[in-house]
A and B are shown apart, each in its own frame.
Chain A
Amino acid sequence: MTSVASKENDDTALPADEEPQGRLARLAKLQALQIVLVLALIVLIFAVLRPTTFLTPFNIRGIVVNTSILAVLGVGMTFVIITGGIDLSVGSVLVFSGVIADKTMLLMGGKGWGTAIVGIVVACLCGLGWGLVNGVLIARARVPPLIVTLGTLGMALGFSQIITGGIDLRDAPDVLVNTVGFGNIVGQIPTLSVIALLVVVLGGIVLHRTRFGLYTFAVGSNAEAGRRVGVRVDRHLIKVYALAGLVAGFAGILNLAFFQSTTISGQSNTNLNVIAGVVIGGTSLFGGVGSIFGTVIGLFIPSVLQNGFVILGVQSFWQQVVVGAVLIAAVFVDQARRAAALRGSSLQFPFLSRFGSGSRKVNR
């Protein structure tokens, strides 16, 4: 184990030659890279312990499918956390969107694509609606994100239970279940995961290659500085929370297609699982730093651990212990980096010290 640790240690050493521009993306990439190595290490350990069962196509496919819906949620959550916010409501919004979409499709009565498409649109709109509620309350009413989304977590789940009487609905049209839920694009490539990958790639492009993404980083690094250079911070925050709601709504219809059930009671820890994945992936809870790629890797770690532990025959409770340790380690690295930035190694991290997002926090 020690030899593996020291090997990884060498690989993650900071490259000395950094270009001044694009440093932010570079930083994010760096922690994402460390996480890739951690994931690789975990996969390696399981592969060595169970060479015949762990790295089979069936198992890899299973892990990917089971991570797909979380990855869709992770895209929105990454944007939100980069702004320095949090969204606890995603699991409930997922359930709510699934419930409304299910009810709508039931009313339409059809079992074909027409009904399915209406269901998809309705689910996305429901998610968007909750996202807008979150965004407006946070940006305009100045209620802290933790409280707003804790509130909408309860409200979205409560409305779902009022509408259904707390009883799971199971009326996803067959076309949706057979294609999106369990279908394959080609061979053994699951449609659900391809859809999730599309969302992830789109999210990555928007975050890292567009003005919208740049503003997201700017708002999270230093909202005041962003305001002074002309970013409409309030409006941007609303858009970011709306986006998180939208993808949660979309995840709701994917969830309905996959489980053929609205899984009302199964989503109570989804928000925390997604947040853990995002943070493990190197997105800073203090905002301003992060990447979609890191999030996806961060979400795979718990999935792979759970899968590997079941295969090893280890009590699945241990998965939580290990994920907890990785989570704390990831935040520790983030914190230590910020402290280093303040301690005068500003040459290494000029962006952070210039905009002061680190300096505010580290004085504590």
Chain B
Amino acid sequence: MKRKGAIIAGLLALALGLTACGSSGAPAGGAGAGPIKLAFVQGVIGDAFYVTMQCGIQEEAAKLGATVTTNGPQKFDPSLQTPVLQSVIASAPNAILIAPTDVSAMQQPIQQAIQQNIKVVLVDTTLKDPSIAASAISSDNLGGGKAAFDAIHQLAPQGGKVLVVSVQPGISTTDDRAKGFQDAVKANPTYQDLGVQYSNNDPQKAAQIVNAALQANPDIVGIFATNLFSAEGSATGIRQAGKQGQVKVVGFDAGPDQVKALQAGTVQALVAQQPGLIGQDGVQQAVAALKGQPVTKSIGTGFTVLTQANLNTPEGQAAVYKSSC
């Protein structure tokens, strides 16, 4: 029994030791009056969009002499993001940049950060009551939806049925993208809106939806997929139905997979956000709030529409998301 206790302790020591090695690159932090400590809480880890944002944040923080730690949940869900945020709050950073995974469920946990005198900047997604945050920076998503419709209008000028594949209701960004798109469709009588379908951020589900929609409406001319996984799945669904070329897909975001799909011709256009810029603005606002300087409550960033034609230009390459900094 003695030996076994030692084995448990040994394994634990080994594992903790390993993590200590893993953490050697992380900033030390902790010192009270040292550099400004920022923390970035992603919507989900390992997503090119948030990685690009992280790159922008780190770059800008380095310029302003601040340190950054980055954390995030394994899935885009408030039940997984809340414990991460709570731990981040406990690590007592000066400011938190966070992409809330739910407009209402994250309100209380973020309120707790503010009660601990931590400045909060919302990046990408927002809250039911964003006024508690020092600043909220996101793409102008209504405009993004309109940009997506304009892209479909160019690709399929004859008009026809169009479908939106979104993530799930309650996510402020994708709701707005869908709304911006649908408003633009309504304004143009040659197009018919087939409504919004929800993929739950699951590419497989998006593929099933698109496949089924093409069975019901074989004459769909355009699909707007409001986020990364929806776009990947939509492209798969169209391939399954053998409708490449007929159905124009406009994706949102420009991760490595969408860029590949754009190159392959499964997706005809991408509306790229500027996550790096969102991150930079977020850091600037957070630092301004900490120094008592004026902040901008709400900032909307723009878009780049990527097609095969402009993908390989320097401008197009700059708009593509990064998978590492």
Chain A interface residues toward B at CB < 8 A: 1-2, 4-6, 8-14, 34, 37-38, 41-42, 45, 50, 52-54, 56, 58-59, 62-63, 65-66, 165-168, 170, 181-182, 255, 259-261, 263-269, 303, 306-318, 321-322, 325-326, 328-330, 332-333, 336-337
Contacts and interface: CB of A to CB of B under 8 A. Distances in A.
A181 B90 CA distance: 20
Nearest to B78: A259
B26 A45 contact: no
Contact of B6 (A6, A65, A307): A6
A218 B258 CA distance: 57
A329 B12 contact: yes
B102 interface: yes
Task: State the 7 A-B residue pairs at the shortest beta-carbon distance, nearest first.
Answer: A266-B77, A310-B87, A59-B90, A12-B5, A266-B79, A313-B26, A5-B9
Interface in B58-91: 69, 71-72, 74-80, 82-84, 86-91
Given A260-B104, A266-B79, A56 B90 contact: yes
A318 B9 contact: no
B83 A38 contact: no
Contacts of B13: 1-2, 4-5
Given A62-B89, A307-B90, A314-B26, A321 B105 contact: no
Nearest to A15: B1
B79 A8 contact: no
Q: Is the interface of A mostly helix, strand, loop or mixed?
A: helix
A269 B104 CA distance: 23
B300 interface: no
30 contacts: A4-B9, A4-B13, A8-B8, A9-B6, A10-B2, A45-B16, A58-B89, A59-B87, A62-B90, A63-B86, A166-B168, A170-B104, A259-B102, A260-B104, A261-B78, A263-B77, A263-B105, A265-B76, A307-B90, A310-B71, A310-B88, A312-B19, A316-B72, A316-B84, A318-B19, A318-B22, A329-B11, A330-B8, A333-B4, A337-B4
B91 A311 contact: yes
A5 B10 contact: yes
Given A52-B92, A313-B91, A315-B22, A14 B1 contact: yes
Given A66-B86, A168-B170, A307-B90, A312 B26 contact: yes
Contacts of A336: 4
Contact of A167 (B72, B75, B77, B168): B168
Interface majority SS (helix, strand, loop, mixed), chain B: helix
B4 A265 contact: no
B172 interface: no
B19 A311 contact: no
B277 to A, nearest CB: 25
Contacts of B77: 263, 265-266
A289 to B, nearest CB: 15
A265 B15 CA distance: 30
Most buried by A among B9, B15, B69: B9
Interface string B35-72: 00000000001000000000000000000000001011
B75 A266 contact: yes
B235 to A, nearest CB: 21
Contacts of A182: 108
B27 interface: yes
Contacts of A65: 86
Contact of A263 (B78, B87, B88, B198): B78
A315 B25 CA distance: 10
A66 B90 contact: no
B201 interface: yes
A188 to B, nearest CB: 11
Given A13-B1, A329-B8, A318 B18 contact: yes
A302 B201 CA distance: 27
Given A9-B2, A52-B30, A333-B4, A311 B75 contact: no
Given A50-B91, A261-B104, A309-B19, A38 B9 contact: yes
A168 B29 CA distance: 38
A331 to B, nearest CB: 11
Nearest to A319: B19
B116 interface: yes
B104 A12 contact: no
B154 interface: no
A166 B170 CA distance: 12
B169 interface: yes
A1 B19 CA distance: 14
A300 B29 CA distance: 26
Nearest to B102: A261
A326 B11 contact: yes
B86 A62 contact: yes
B11 A267 contact: no
Contacts of A9: 2, 5-6, 9
A306 B89 CA distance: 13
B200 interface: yes
Contact of B90 (A37, A58, A265, A332): A58
Contact of A12 (B2, B17, B102): B2
A258 B156 CA distance: 47
Find the residue from B30, B75, B84, B90 having the highest chain A CB count within 10 A: B90
A66 B6 contact: no
B78 A266 contact: yes
Given A38-B12, A310-B88, 4 more contacts: A62-B90, A166-B200, A181-B108, A263-B105
A41 B87 contact: no
